[in-house]
Amino acid sequence: MSDKSVEPWREALQKVTPERVREAVQALLAEQPPNQRLGVTIGALVQRLMAELGISGEVESSRSYFAIKDAVRAAVAQSQDLRYLETPG
């Protein structure tokens, strides 16, 4: 695989900012019934960000998925109003 084939998702990582993550979380929460707006799963959040950023890849099995997931963690760590919680499962 050449570097050119991975550049688009690598460049997209720079766009995974705390603000963008916050907006994606808010959009996902708004799609849920009011009594279920406690949080969003990392899978749903990563899928949404990948779609917004035009990144293709098999969800939960691609390097781009894990790269976006790591970028979300980093963005949340920079935010005072977002929390990333690991759950057993």
pLDDT of residue 59: 62
pLDDT of residue 2: 46
Kindly provide the b/e burial profile for residues 5-38, where b requires at least 16 CB atoms within 10 angstroms of the residue's own CB.
Answer: eeeebeebeeebebebbeebbeebeeeeeeeeee
3-state secondary structure at position 4 = helix
The domain spans of the chain are: 10-77
| Mean pLDDT, all residues of the chain | 85
- The model's pLDDT over 4-43, given as tens digits with 9 standing for 90+, comes to 554 577 888 999 999 999 999 999 999 999 998 888 999 9
For residue 46, pLDDT beyond 70: yes
The residue-averaged pLDDT of 64-87 equals 90
What is the spatial distance between Cα 48 and Cα 17, in angstroms, rounded to a whole number?
14
